[in-house]
Each structure stands twice: as structure tokens, then as C-alpha cells.
Amino acid sequence: MKTKSALISPIEPDRTDTGNTPLSSMEAKKRGKISHLETKNPGILQKLMAMGVLPGMPVTLLRRKPSFLFEVDQTRYAVDREIADHIFVSC
Amino acid sequence: MKLPYICSKNECCCRNTGNCPGTELPKIVLVGNPNVGKSSLFNSLSESYAVVSNYPATSVEITRGKGRIGDREYEIIDTPGMYSLHPISEEERVSQRMLFNEKPFVCLHVVDARNLRRMLPFTVQLLEAGTPLILVLNMMDEAEDRGLEIDMEKLSRLLGVPVVGTVSSEGRGIEELKTEIAKFSPSGNMPEIDYGSNIDPYLSEIESQLAVAKESGISKRAFALLLLQEDLTALEKVSEKEEKGGCGCENRRSCGLRSIAEAASKQADSPLTYLITLKRQAYVNEIVEQVMPDTDPGDTEGPGRRKEKSETAARKEKSGVKKIALAENIDSILTHPALGIPVLFLILYFGFYRFVGVFAAGTVVDFLENTVFGAHINPWVSAQFTALVPYPLLQDLFVGEYGIITQAVTYAIALILPIVGAFFLVFSIIEDTGYLPRLALLVDGMFKKIGLSGRAVIPMVLGFGCSTMATMVTRTLETRREKLISTILLALAIPCSAQLGIILSILSGNPKGLLIWAGVIILEFLFIGYLAAKVLPGENPTFILELPPLRRPRLSNIAVKTYSRMHWYFLEVLPLFVLASVLIWIGRLTGLFDLALKAMEYPTQWIGLPVDAATVFLFGFFRRDFGAVGLYEMHDSGLLTGVQLVVAAVTLTLFMPCIAQFMMTVKERGLKTALAISGFIFPSAFLVGFIVSTLLGALGVVL
Ligand SMILES: Nc1nc2c(ncn2[C@@H]2O[C@H](COP(=O)(O)OP(=O)(O)OP(=O)(O)O)[C@@H](O)[C@H]2O)c(=O)[nH]1
Ligand SMILES: [Mg+2]
């Protein structure tokens, strides 16, 4: 199944991969799938993972303003641009 | 409706102390993510009460209570929510420590049934740690509304632990849960997760070197995993052991558990936490696919995705769809970048100004103070007392101008109680809808300018209820800097409920004055926040917050919450008001009162107020709401002009935090910080009062 394979797939795919954009540059109301997380900042990475924002999960961006609002599975998250920069989505 | 049993702190909550009578009982510990319903479950299992609200991180402290299940008595423990066994914030660490250190009879892992995929990794972690576990799928009603069906039997078989579905806010499933608890015995079943070649070898190496696993309170494997993820608590335990040379290995040189962890993280291409979490999630995904076969997360909306569905489930889903659509529409207005702000003002205007300020602090207080107490109770009590006790000295203490009955009790019951009651009622409703996280999202951008993340709006708003409680809630913020800035702002610019209610009512006849007052306070809030963010070292915080669904507030929850907060506030305020009466009485006997009053007269006159207003600030030193009460009295007797009223209101709002808040600041931030904040506030309040008074005077404003 695609969910599983995405999860076990290489952890740091090629950044130049077409269609891999950070959540912060996605358009509102668009759906996609989280491809990977930026791992440079351990604090943010750990927080995102603990809260269930993980590669392989489908994601819908609901709002860009006043803050980024997105939905993963059945949960909604509000984040600022800095965090949204750490989430990469493939459409 | 069950009314909460409210205990005095040292009686049954015995925080941090291990020697209270309850420790002998078997322990039931509630753990889980924030906002999944742990506290509401706690309330239905125990005799005690924990506050339930619809936003993450409501509970910031461990709450203990007793409860009878079957024919046994248990100690039931509610914990602050945490996202995983590897904690990030301070309040999560509290919960982690408690799992490590206390040996529970059973641990109830409470999860949100809508979100199994996201919640089960924590269950797996708990199982790996060897915790005796029952899995509670709470919020089954919302899962049904969304048409989710979970095969609980299969889930229980796959995980090897009992699984119970509940709706804790309605009490559904509680009996089943109690039955499971009564017949519970630990299974010792442990999930076997393959963490891959980057991790497994190191894992077994650490495990084999951990000779004494017992004292860490969790299994070797879980401890090793935490160590690999550089968990602080695990690291502390290791350092303790290595220092003592008690890690159990022959050769202390080669031991270095820490160095194994370092080697492991060096050879991996990504942080180990990342790798471990992904493997665990893959394991969970397989389980979820077996127990919820009809939902593929990649395609939640396509038609025909559900194969066969029972009739009742389909019916529930249909009514659920409507409910969700309504919540959805309201939500999109609340979080709208342009519409959100007017909605906020509507809530402030109707909820706080109209209801608390005009109705409760105006109409109700007027009736209670002047009619009930002023015209009936007090004259009667005074007459009785004077007839019974012929000593003027004692008469003065009890029924004099500042007497215990005529002042302390009257103020507490006729003024404070209706105002804080109305406030807490509005508050409870707002908390229970889930509006606060939406507000956080709305203000995040602006709050960043004063060094705070949107999350900080929650303690700020709670501060309008009671700044002492709110100061405690600042611990849910992430960085030290953010905690400090919000503590300063709470002490400085956020009036507490009683104070705010009285000020709103005094200024309600004077809309221009009210606007000036609000404008000055908001400016000061922003200005001090901006300065603090500039001056204090450190980076701006990041903002990430889970948005719970909007929920319809439940009447019973609102009633219980309002009642318990009023009860608590009243018990806190009454003795202090009585104490104030006694102190003033002593002060007047010895002449100290007049001396203190004289001293306060200088700054009072300096900001353009009549000499009599000095009492207001003298009272204000004692408690904020006490000062506000003094102001109310002056206003009632028509002693102040409009401008003077605004100046006094501004100065009093910015005035000293009360003693309780000061103590809480000491507890959370340390004595030095608390003293520094207070030392700054006293002169700055009068300075701002002076500026406002001078400006209004120079502009010739008449209010
Ligand atoms: N629909 C529904 N709502 C629930 C249920 N259980 C709890 N709630 C609501 O969920 C919200 C959170 O409940 P709490 O008990 O405060 O959650 P908690 O887990 O203690 O949260 P924290 O203390 O923040 O970790 C409240 O608004 C409850 O009324 C349930 O079974 N169904
Ligand atoms: Mg709670």
C-alpha cells in the first residue's frame, strides 16, 4: 500500500525532486502528501513528529493567513511560516 | 449533575509529597495526548475535580483523587497531556517522570478515537516501556459522526491489551471501563518493532549493558530507545549511575552508555528520533489498516470507499455530517483573517462589556450592595451588634466603616462574587467551545512583535479571569524568554476579573473614558512587550498548535467549572478581606494607617487625584480587587470627575499584582524576577497615570 511504502522510503529524498515544495509555498485549499521533514532543527522536527505530522500522511492546506492552517488525517494544526518551511509536500 | 468535591490543597492533593495516606492505594494513572478527555474521564472515575476545557494543555499539574471501582479503592491520577514518552515541554516532563517513578497498578492510555493513526505510536511506546496498560478510545461519538468504525476486539488482540470505547463527556462506556479495571492483570506483552540496521544493533548493545533496569521504572528497551533519542531524563539517570559507578559493568571505561548513543547517532544519516518515529509509525499503520480496513488516508473523500457499513453507523454518520458542516462554517469565520477581528470584538462587547460590566457589575451589584446589604442586612446587623456589644472598639472592628461585616463580608459577597461569577461563566463558555486556539492563530503574527507566539494568548486571556492561575499556565509556553515576557505582561497590564468588572461598570456611563482607558492599557501592553522582546536575549518563539474541533459547550461542565472557580475565588478572597479589615483596624488604633495614607497621598496628588483617593491605592497594595472596590465606593459617592476616574482606573489597572500572584511568580520564575517585576510596576503605574492625567489636562478633555 502506498502509505506504508512512503513511510519506509528513503528519509531524505532529493530536494530538487519535482513537486516537492514546502508547505509554506503551497496554495490554499490544495491537497498533497507529506514527503519529508526538514531535519536540521531538532526542536521543530521533534515537535512536528510528536504531534503526528509525518511523512506519508495526506495533508490539506486550509489557510495561509492569518497563520498557516492545515489538516493531517483528522487533526488541524496552526503553525507559523517558520514551521511551515520545515514540512515538504509532494502534490 | 455531580458537584465537585473541592479539597484544601494539603488534604488530598498532597502534591509532590509521598507520605500522604493515599499512597498505599493501587494507582490508576491517566495519560495521553493533550485535549483527548483525560480530565473528564478523571472526573467520572474519581471523587475529585479537574478542570475540563476544549483546548490543549488545560491541565498543567498532576491531580490526584480517590475513586471506588468494584469493591476496591484506588488512587486516580490525572496528568498534563503529552505527545510522546519522549517529552518536549516542561509539563510533559512532569508526566514522564511520574510514569517513571510511580509504579501504577494500571495506566489508562486515553486516545481520541478519530485519530488512531496519530495516537497509537504513544500506546506502542508505553507498551515497550512495560507499562501495565488499558487503551481507552475516547470521543467515540465524534468518530461515529465521521463514519469511522473501529474493530476494537481485533485492536485488543493485536496490541495484547484491553481496549474500551468511551464518550467520557457523556459517561458512555465508563461502566465497561470500570469492569476492565477491576479484572485487570498485566499481560507483559511487548511489541516487537524492527528498528532497522541503523538502530537495532545499538539498541541491543545498550540493553545488554543496562544491568539494573528496575530502578529506572521502565523496561530496558524503552530506556535504551530514550537514550538513543538523547532524552534528558534518561541522560540524567545515566549520568547519575556513571558517577556512582553503579551501572553494573565490570570495566567502567568501556561502559559509557552515552558513547554508544553518540556512535549510533554519528553513523546514521538522519536524527535517530526521526528514524525511530518513522519505524514505529509504520508498525502502527499496519495495525490501523487491520482494524479500520475501510479508510485509506490517501483517499478520504472518494465515493464508494466504504465497503459495507452497518445501518446504525450509516445513520449516525448522516446526522454527523450536518453537525460537522455547521462547525466547519463557524470555524471558517472565526479564523478568517478579516472577519475574525470583528467577531472577537463582538464577543468582547456582548460577553464582557454587556454581560459582566453592565449587567453583573452594574445591575446585580447595585441591587446586592445598596438594597440587600445596604438597606437591610447591614443596618440590622449593626443595630444588633451595637446593642449586644457595648464596646466602641469592637463595634468599629465588626460594623465600623472598614468593619469585618460592613466592609469585608459585604464587599466579598455583594461585589466580588457576582462579578467573578459572571466572568467565570462567560469564560467557561468560551473555553469549552474551542475558541481560544482560534484566537491564538489569529493573533500569532501580532504577538510575534512582542516576543510571544500565538499560544501565549491563552495564558493572557486566562489572566483576565485570575492572573495567579494564568501565571501558572505560562509554563506551557516553550522558551524561558516567552515565559518571562508573558509573566511580566500578566503582572503589569492584565487586570483580573473582579478589577476589570468593576472598572467596566464604573466607566460604563462614560464610553469615551472607557475607550481611553482601554487604549492606554493596550498601548502599555504592546509597548512593554515590545521593549521586553528587544531587551531580553534569545530568539523569537515558533508557533505550532493543535486546533481541536469546535464543540457545543455542555451545560453541566460549564456549571461545575463556574461553581468550582467561584468557590475557590471566594475562599481565597474572603479571609484576605477580613484580614484587611483587621489590619486597618489595628492601623487606625496605632496611627499607622494614617501614616501610610499620608505617604500614599503624594503620588495620588501627583497624578491629579483628590487626597481621598489615596485609600484606593493603599487597598490596591493589598489586593487588586480590593483597590477596585475602593474605587467603586469613591465613584458611588460621586467624589471623582470623569477624567480623574479614568486616571485612577488606568493607574489601578497597571498597579501591583496581588500577593497570590506575586507568590506564584516567585514559584514559577524565582524570587529575583518577581521582585524586579514588582519594583518596576509601582513607579511605572504612577508614571503612566501621570502622563494620562497631564495629557488629558493639556488637551482640555472633559469626560
Ligand atoms: N465529543 C466529545 N467530547 C469530549 C469527550 N471527552 C471529552 N470531551 C471534550 O474534550 C475537551 C477536552 O477534554 P479534557 O478532559 O479537558 O481533556 P484533557 O485530556 O484533560 O486535556 P489536557 O488537560 O489539555 O491534556 C473538553 O471540551 C471535553 O468536553 C467525548 O468523549 N466526546
Ligand atoms: Mg486535563
Q: What is the mean pLDDT of residues B110-114?
A: 95
Q: What is the pLDDT of residues B354-397, one digit of tens each?
A: 898 889 888 898 899 889 998 999 999 999 998 998 888 888 89
Nearest CA in chain A to B142: A74
Q: How far is the C-alpha of B546 from the C-alpha of B454, rounded, in Å? A: 12
* Apex B498 CA angle, B494 and B499, nearest 5: 50
Q: Return all residues near B261 (Cβ < 8 A) that are at least 6 apart.
A: B202, B206, B227, B228, B230
Q: How far is the C-alpha of B601 from the C-alpha of B622, rounded, in Å? A: 16
pLDDT at site B6: 46
Buried b (16+ CB within 10 A) or exposed e, B91-126: bbbbbbebbbebebbbbbbbbbbbbbbbbbbbbbbb
State which residues have CB under 5 angstroms from ligand 2, the bound ion. B 39, 58-59
B646 and B511 in one domain? yes
Q: Which of A12, A40, A51 to mutate to test binding with chain B, by most B CBs within 10 Å of its CB?
A: A51
The answer to whether residue A5 sits within a structural domain is: no
B97 and B239 in one domain? no
pLDDT at site B199: 78
C-beta separation of B42 from B166 below 8 A: no
pLDDT at site B64: 93
pLDDT at site B559: 95
CA distance B4 to chain A (A): 32
pLDDT at site B19: 40
pLDDT at site B558: 94
Q: Return all residues near B20 (Cβ < 8 A) that are at least 6 apart.
A: B12, B14
B345 and B262 in one domain? no
The answer to whether residue B280 sits within a structural domain is: no
The answer to whether residue A1 sits within a structural domain is: no
The answer to whether residue B228 sits within a structural domain is: yes
Q: How far is the C-alpha of B334 from the C-alpha of B210, rounded, in Å? A: 53
Query: Taking 70 as the threshold, does the pLDDT of residue A16 lie above it?
Result: no
- Please report the DSSP string for B284-320 in residue order: HHHHHHHHSTT--GGGSSSTT------HHHHHHHHHH
The answer to whether residue B278 sits within a structural domain is: no
B450 and B387 in one domain? yes
CB–CB of A8 and B278 under 8 A? yes
B168 and B89 in one domain? yes
Helix or strand or coil: residue A56? coil
Confidence of residue B38 (pLDDT cuts 50, 70, 90): very high
Q: What is the pLDDT of residues B43-61, one digit of tens each?
A: 999 999 999 999 998 998 8
pLDDT at site B121: 93
The answer to whether residue B320 sits within a structural domain is: no
Task: List CB contacts (< 8 A) between A69 and chain B.
Answer: 335, 441, 547
B679 and B611 in one domain? yes
B540 and B483 in one domain? yes
CA distance A89 to chain B (A): 13
pLDDT at site B243: 54
Decide if A33 touches B, using CB distance below 8 A. yes
Boundary of a domain, candidates B213, B232, B267? B267
Confidence of residue B216 (pLDDT cuts 50, 70, 90): low
Q: What is the mean pLDDT of residues B230-255?
A: 58
CA distance A88 to chain B (A): 15
List the beta bridge partners of residue B67. B74
Instruction: Give percent of chain A above pLDDT 90.
Output: 26
List the beta bridge partners of residue A70. A61, A77
Q: What is the pLDDT of residues B168-190, one digit of tens each?
A: 989 999 999 999 999 998 877 78
CA distance B91 to chain A (A): 14
Q: What is the pLDDT of residues B118-150, one digit of tens each?
A: 999 999 999 988 889 999 999 999 998 888 889
Provide the CATH number for the domain around residue A57: 2.30.30.90
C-beta separation of B40 from B113 below 8 A: no
The answer to whether residue A69 sits within a structural domain is: yes
B625 and B588 in one domain? yes
Query: Taking 60 as the threshold, does the pLDDT of residue B295 lie above it?
Result: no
pLDDT at site B298: 46
Q: What is the pLDDT of residues B306-348, one digit of tens each?
A: 445 567 777 777 777 888 888 888 988 888 888 989 999 999 8
The answer to whether residue A2 sits within a structural domain is: no
B454 and B426 in one domain? yes
CB–CB of B273 and A55 under 8 A? no
pLDDT at site B23: 55
pLDDT at site B540: 84
pLDDT at site B432: 95
Low-confidence winner among B295-304, B315-324, B390-399, B530-539 (lowest mean pLDDT): B295-304
Decide if A11 touches B, using CB distance below 8 A. yes
Query: Taking 60 as the threshold, does the pLDDT of residue B24 lie above it?
Result: yes
- Which of the pair, B236 or B577, is modelled with greater confidence? B577
Ligand 2 centre to CA of B42 (Å) is 9
C-beta separation of B238 from B292 below 8 A: no
B170 and B140 in one domain? yes
Confidence of residue B107 (pLDDT cuts 50, 70, 90): very high
B209 and B177 in one domain? no
CB–CB of A7 and B282 under 8 A? yes
* Apex B86 CA angle, B85 and B92, nearest 5: 75
Task: List CB contacts (< 8 A) between A48 and chain B.
Answer: 544
CB–CB of B277 and A63 under 8 A? no
C-beta separation of A73 from A31 below 8 A: no
Q: What is the mean pLDDT of chain B?
A: 84
Question: Could you tell me the residue range of the domain that residue A70 belongs to?
Answer: 19-90
B214 and B158 in one domain? no
Q: How many CB atoms lie within 10 A of CB B259?
A: 10
Q: What is the pLDDT of residues B479-488, one digit of tens each?
A: 889 999 999 9
Question: Could you tell me the residue range of the domain that residue B259 belongs to?
Answer: 200-267
Q: What is the mean pLDDT of residues B464-488?
A: 89
pLDDT at site B625: 82
The answer to whether residue A35 sits within a structural domain is: yes
The answer to whether residue B333 sits within a structural domain is: no
- Which of the pair, B618 or B7, is modelled with greater confidence? B618
Query: Taking 50 as the threshold, does the pLDDT of residue B303 lie above it?
Result: no
CB–CB of A1 and B289 under 8 A? yes
B53 close to ligand 1 (CB < 6 Angstrom): yes
CB–CB of B84 and A56 under 8 A? no
Q: How far apart are the two ends of chain A, measured CA to CA in Å?
A: 18
Q: What is the mean pLDDT of residues B490-508?
A: 88
The answer to whether residue A50 sits within a structural domain is: yes
Q: What is the pLDDT of residues B401-415, one digit of tens each?
A: 888 888 888 888 988
Predicted TM-score (pTM) of this structure: 0.86
pLDDT at site B27: 92
Q: What is the pLDDT of residues A23-76, one digit of tens each?
A: 888 888 888 889 888 878 888 888 898 888 988 889 999 999 889 999 998 899
C-beta separation of B378 from B321 below 8 A: no
The amino acid occupying position B168 is S
Q: Return all residues near B228 (Cβ < 8 A) that are at least 6 apart.
A: B199, B202, B203, B206, B261, B264, B265, B272, B276
Question: Per the structure, how many domains does chain B have?
Answer: 3
To which H or E segment does residue A62 belong?
strand A58-63
Question: Per the structure, how many domains does chain A have?
Answer: 1
Q: What is the pLDDT of residues B568-622, one digit of tens each?
A: 888 888 888 898 889 888 988 898 888 888 888 988 989 989 888 888 888 888 7
Ligand 1 centre to CA of B35 (Å) is 5
B35 close to ligand 1 (CB < 6 Angstrom): yes
Confidence of residue A1 (pLDDT cuts 50, 70, 90): very low
Q: Which of B226, B275, B285 to mutate to test binding with chain A, by most A CBs within 10 Å of its CB?
A: B285
Helix or strand or coil: residue B613? helix
The answer to whether residue B193 sits within a structural domain is: no
- Please report the DSSP string for B456-506 in residue order: GHHHHHHHHH-HHHHHHHGGGSSSHHHHHHHHHHHHHT---HHHHHHHHHH
Low-confidence winner among A80-84, B485-489, B628-632 (lowest mean pLDDT): B628-632
pLDDT at site B323: 83
Query: Taking 70 as the threshold, does the pLDDT of residue A2 lie above it?
Result: no
The answer to whether residue A31 sits within a structural domain is: yes
The answer to whether residue A6 sits within a structural domain is: no
C-beta separation of B137 from B120 below 8 A: no
| Cell reading at B130 | 512495560
Ligand 1 centre to CA of B36 (Å) is 5
